[in-house]
Structure 1
Amino acid sequence: MTLPLPPIDDADLAQLHPRLTADDPTVRRLALIELAELENEDHAPWLVAALSDREPEVRAEAAGRLAYWESPETVTALLASLGDADAGVREAAAHSLTEIRLPGSGRLLVAALGQQAAFVRASVLRALRELRLPESFEPALAAALAPEAVVRFEAVGVLGWLKHPDALPVLTRLAEGDAEAEVRRAAVGALGLATDASVLPALLSALRDPVWQVREEAATTIGKLRLAEAAAALIGALEDDYWQVRQRAARTLGRLRDTRAVAPLAAFALGHSSANLRKEAAIALGEIGAPTALDALAGATRDADPEVRKSARLAIAQIQGASIVGAS
């Protein structure tokens, strides 16, 4: 090891010491595992010291095990390991940082966003996402315009979790025109934080995106926001080349309960080769509740897939129950 180890101050450490300092890196790594499994926070400095081991496999083990010991010292050490020469060590440190739960640790992450390396910034943003720290908003907003796609992607994740309306202009810009499909998809999903229809043009544009995963995400976000103005575009999406997009469009049309979708759902979804899509179409027709769907649903009760048959029967009962309630 290149750093001095903390003192041996208990029987467990005394027993493990010969293996923690052995010449064989495999022995050192296995000793670290045993040390970590003792779950004694006083042993964390030994794991931190192992981040400077000469062998990458030992450093990676230490980085992974430090996920369970959150303190300013361990967070600082893991941040330093994001710059390790070995990719496996860097990945282990990045994963451990995603286990951070304390706001104080999160503030150490925010301070690290000034680093130049894209991997470091992206890893820090990923770790910040679920903490929802208000002070991470401005740095994440700036990072959403970074030249590196991986940084933009992770920044969008932070903005989506924060749900700050001031992020909508940047998210809209990314959803409509980012060069990377994964960034567009993430931005489209993050537009679900909107509280009105101002994001509708961006979502309609995303429904025409050349990448099907972006179109799928757009249909999902429209459903979350229940944007009835998008019903016509979603009906068009029932003829998408990808069943995954059709399925999300069907699900959202059910939420919108637009009766114009009944015939297209029956024609383009209920008879599709994908059982998942047929099931979703049956559910959507039940939610819409139009009696004109009963004939198509009756046919679906004889579908080859049991889940589709069940969904069709439930949809028929739903429609008939609504009709009885309406007539009473």
Structure 2
Amino acid sequence: MTDLNTYFDDIELAEILALRSRLENPDAGVRRIALIELADLEDPEGLGWLTDRLANDPASEVRAQAATLLEAWEEVEVVEALCQALIDPQALVREAAAQSLSLLKTAEAGRVVLPWTTHADANVRIAAFRALRELRLEQAAPAALLALKDEDASVRREAVGVLGWLKRTEALQALAALASQDPDSEVRRAATGALGLTHNADVLPALRQALQDEVWQVREEAATTLGKIGQPEAGAALIEALNDEYWQVRLRATRSLGRLRHSDALWPLVETLTHRISNVRKEAALALGELGDSRARPALLQLEHDGDPEVRKAVRIALAQLP
């Protein structure tokens, strides 16, 4: 068996060596295809050649291909090479490297990325925080908290994402300030969503303010988050949001009132059953089922023959929940 394994190892090594000359071919297309074949072998022997092409190939399309092919590797030298590629002169390469870094899975890889969160280039900082977001690397929290004051809105947004995944309660005050005061609506929206990491009533003022934001997407996020934090005091603001000019906000407020099982929402939700948007009617029916108040039965029965099958299904579910 040992001889057979050695035989196959020798075959694979021969394939790798055969690719070497093609990696130095003057034709960029030949080099790019050789890289793909090299990556398909998934042999550590060829890893150095992939990182070499990423750093040194004269053709941007080859460097970009190398960055894409390295997405499955978590070795320190690979992560370092991808980070270096974030400052490549060509956007094509930078974007490929950022995408590969965003797929990292290990804390060790995250520690390699961490120093890049303070790079002078905002796009590098964005890519670094995006790579760290889902790794839940505790060491990233101080950098993310500092980046909440970054001059670039996209950096602030990515830093919010890191803190949201880490569920760091010490960040709540800063996140609440962003949710209500940041000049960028996407940052306000991200911060509003991140406030859902806690059931702390201290975030209610910021969320109520976000529910009055001039941008409907922020109001929509606030309506969703108010349902997540599980505070009954959120009910009044959500009932008011049922009259929002955007149906998307009404839908999220309806869903949240159901999650809170807010008794004062009974008649406002019954009224919402007549909304022209079927998705809103569906959520209103489901929310009434969660409230479990039998006084909703007559209004729900009127929707048994609604034109939308999803609404009819929601009505059946709701009726089954009523006493």
State the TM-score, normalizing by the size of structure 2: 0.93
CA-CA distance at 1:266 after TM superposition: 2.1
Q: Answer with 30-39 or 154-163: which moved more.
A: 30-39
Alignment counterpart, residue 32 of structure 2, candidates 29, 34, 40: 29
- Whole-Å Cα distance in 2 between the matches of residues 85 and 202 of structure 1? 42
| Residue of structure 1 aligned with 2:59, choices 33, 55, 78 | 55
Q: Distance in 2 between matches of 1:159 and 1:279?
A: 33
Which of these residues, 204, 210, 228, is aligned with residue 206 of structure 1?
210
Q: 1:163 aligns with which of 161, 167, 170?
A: 167
The structural deviation recorded for 1:296 is 1.1
Contact 2:199/2:231 (<8 A) preserved: no
The percent identity for this pair of structures is: 53
1:131 Cα offset (Å): 1.4
Q: CA-atom RMSD, angstroms?
A: 1.3
Aligned amino acid, residue 246 of structure 1: R
Aligned partner of 1:177 in structure 2 is: 181
- Distance in 1 (CA, whole Å) between partners of 2:45 and 2:140 is 31
| Letter paired with 2:77 | E
2:309 corresponds to: 306
Deviations 1:270-322 (A, max 9, x none): 12222211111110010011112111100111100111011102211211xxx
Stretch deviating more after TM superposition (271-280 or 87-96): 271-280
CA distance in 1, matches of 2:270, 2:92: 51
Q: Distance in 1 between matches of 2:191 and 2:26?
A: 49
Structure 1 residues 163-221: Cα deviation after superposition (integer angstroms, max 9, x where no partner): 11110111011000101111001101111122320000000001011111111111111
- Counterpart residue number, 1:254: 258
Letter aligned with residue 76 of structure 1? E
User: Which residue in 1 is equivalent to 2:20?
Assistant: 17
- Structure 1 Cα separation of the partners of residues 29 and 246 of structure 2: 48
Asked if residue 193 in structure 1 is aligned to residue 197 in structure 2, the reply is yes
The residue type equivalent to 1:18 in the other structure is S
| Residues in 2 aligned to 1:258 and 1:137: alpha-carbon distance in whole angstroms | 35
Distance 2:120 2:61 in 1: 26
Residue of structure 1 equivalent to 2:286:
283
CA contact (8 A) 2:176 2:195 kept: yes
Cα distance between partner residues in 2 of 1:39 and 1:275? 50
- Give, in angstroms, the shift of residue 117 of structure 1: 0.5
1:137 Cα offset (Å): 0.8
1:221 has 2:225 as partner: yes
* Number of the residue aligned with 2:70: 66
Query: Could you tell me how far 1:17 is from its partner in structure 2?
Result: 2.5
Q: Is residue 52 of structure 2 the alignment partner of residue 41 of structure 1?
A: no
- Counterpart residue identity of residue 196, structure 1: N
Corresponding position of 2:5? none
Tell me by how many angstroms 1:49 deviates.
Answer: 0.9
TM-score (norm 1): 0.92
Q: Mapping of 1:104-183 within 5 angstroms?
A: 104-183=108-187
Out of 92, 95, 113, the position equivalent to 2:96 is 92
Q: Secondary structure at the match of 1:300?
A: coil
Q: In the aligned structure 1, how far is the partner of 2:102 from the partner of 2:250?
A: 34
Write the deviation string for residues 13-33 of structure 1: whole angstroms up to 9, x where unpaired. 222233322222122111111
Distance of 1:220 and 1:73 partners within structure 2: 42
Structure 1 gaps of 5+ residues are: 1-8, 324-328
Does the residue aligned with 1:70 lie in a helix, a strand or coil? coil
The structural deviation recorded for 1:64 is 0.8
2:81 maps to a residue whose letter is: A
Q: CA deviation at 1:54?
A: 1.0
1:207–1:215 contact (8 Å) kept in structure 2: yes
Given that residues 145 and 152 in structure 1 are in contact (C-alpha distance below 8 angstroms), is that contact kept between their aligned partners in structure 2?
A: yes
* Range with bigger deviation, 15-24 or 286-295: 15-24
Alpha-carbon distance in structure 1 between the residues aligned to 2:306 and 2:22 = 63
**Which of 222, 242, 267 is the equivalent residue of 2:246?**
242
Alignment partners' CA distance in 1, 2:98 and 2:60: 15
Q: Letter of the aligned partner of 1:291 in structure 2?
A: S
Contact 1:160 1:190 in 2 (8 A): yes
Distance 1:68 1:110, change over 3 A: same
Any conservation in 1 of the 2:199–2:230 contact (CA below 8 Å)?
no
Give the distance between the partners of 2:176 and 2:44, measured in 1 at CA.
45
Give the match for residue 6 of structure 2.
Answer: none
Mapped partners of 2:283, 2:261: distance in 1: 14
Q: What amino acid does structure 2 have at the position aligned with 1:239?
A: N
SS at match of 1:10: helix
